[in-house]
Amino acid sequence: MTNRVRKAIFPVAGLGTRLLPATKSMPKEMLTIVDRPLIQYAVDEAREAGIEQMIFVTGRGKSAIVDHFDVAFELESTMRGKARSLEALDRSRAGFGEIVTVRQQQPLGLGHAVWCARHIVGNEPFAVILPDDLMVGSPGALKQMVDAWETLGGNLIAGEEVPADKTASYGIVTPGKQDGALTAVAALVEKPAPEVAPSRLAVIGRYILQPEVLAVLGKSEAGAGGEIQLTDALAAMIGKQPFNALKVDAVRHDCGDRAGFVIANIALALDRPDVGGTVRDFIAGL
């Protein structure tokens, strides 16, 4: 068992129903924020955190995600001499063995998607990244988590305070001891109603987990919505291993939601020197 986080699971088999009809034939992870698909932001974040192997848990109709990281010989030949375009293409090219895929053949939830990658993860700690949770920060959210995990060990989840009326959309933490941005996780509950939620500290789309959670997921116990919930499996690990939530210094955009997707495009465009001025002038003129 290694004491480094070398592998990350990207659950990308979902249908993206909140963004239909855009996702009818295009994976939601390939929808662009300015000029980069969501999956590229997630992979770049993982690379910055030292992840060596990206595990895509895919489904039918998702081949475009893997194709994006392949060599595009004809395109690269055409763009030769255009430095900026070639640099962008270089960032989207995966190294040999950097990306592997496994199929999730049934839509049984996030926990099931993570379990599908068990043979590739093996007996070592691993990260989980949900690409439609776009995290904007420097250093990236996962890098912040890896740095904290190297001191803490155990299981570490990214947390964010959400409005009280939104708790039913998240896994919610029962908080223990708090130390700045770090909160010990005393318990977890999946999608509680606001009146029974133990806090407003929600689990968001970044995790660093110990491999023992895969055995819990393998019991195939259905939770909220009839799916195999990752939150339920994590709750079973509390008390057996160190378990903490970290409020990362990053802005989160829920790009699986229509409004969140539009806001992310505006926010990141405004921060870009090449297009920010034009977008800012347009907004000012509304």
pLDDT one-digit tens code per residue, 240-263: 999 999 999 999 999 999 999 999
CA distance linking residue 244 with residue 188, whole number of Å: 11
Quote the tokens at residue 138: 């420097």
For residue 64, is pLDDT > 60? yes
Q: pLDDT at position 223, please?
A: 56
Do 117 and 55 touch, CB atoms closer than 8 A?
yes
Q: pLDDT at position 227, please?
A: 72
pLDDT tens profile 258-275: 999 999 999 999 999 999
Q: pLDDT at position 8, please?
A: 98
Q: pLDDT at position 13, please?
A: 92
Q: pLDDT at position 1, please?
A: 54
Model confidence at 148, pLDDT cuts 50, 70, 90, reads very high
Cis omega (within 30 of 0) for bond into 21: yes
For residue 76, is pLDDT > 90? no
Do 34 and 272 touch, CB atoms closer than 8 A?
yes
Q: pLDDT at position 120, please?
A: 95
Helix axes 141-152, 38-48, angle to 10 degrees: 40
Q: pLDDT at position 94, please?
A: 82
| CATH 3.40.50.300 is right for the domain spanning 7-284 | no
Helix axes 258-270, 276-284, angle to 10 degrees: 120
